[in-house]
Amino acid sequence: MNPIKGSLRYPAVTLSLTLGLLLAGTQAILHMPRMEDPSVTIRTGIVAALYPGATSDQVESQLAKKVEDHLFKFAEVRKEKTYSTSGREPAGQKSRGSSL
C-alpha cells in the first residue's frame, strides 16, 4: 500500500506516530547533555632545532631528515610542513584525528 494512501486511510495511526515522534524528540532535547564552553583538544606541536652557522642545505641534510625520521615513526604523528633556513629547522606536526 502507498504510504500516503495508508496515512489518509488510517489517521489514528498517523496521529499516534506523529505524537510519539514529537514526544521522543522533546524528551531527547530536554535530557541532552550540554556545556556552555565545551573542551576541545587540539593536538599540535612544533619542533624547533637550532644549528648555528649551518646553511639551509646542511640543516636539511644533517638535522631535519634525522628529526623527521625519528618523529614520524610514530603512527599518531603526521607531517604537516618543514621549513629549513640557515641555522634553524622548525617542523610542524599534527596528531592523527585532530580537528584542524
Instruction: Determine whether 46 is exposed, middle or buried from the number of CB atoms within 10 Å of its CB (0-12, 13-18, 19+).
Output: exposed
Q: Which domain holds residue 58?
A: 44-95
Percent of the chain with pLDDT strictly greater than 70: 83
Q: What is the pLDDT of residue 43?
A: 78
Query: Quick check: is 54 in a domain?
Result: yes
| Assigned domain for 100 exists | no
Does some domain include residue 67?
yes
Q: Say if residue 68 is in the same domain as residue 50.
A: yes
Instruction: Give 41-89 pLDDT, tens digit per residue.
Output: 877 777 777 878 877 788 788 888 888 888 878 877 777 777 777 666 5
User: What local confidence, expressed as pLDDT, does residue 52 receive?
Assistant: 81
Q: Check whether 27 has a pLDDT greater than 70.
A: yes
Q: Is 78 within a domain?
A: yes
Same domain, 19 and 62: no
Residues 22 and 51 in one domain: no
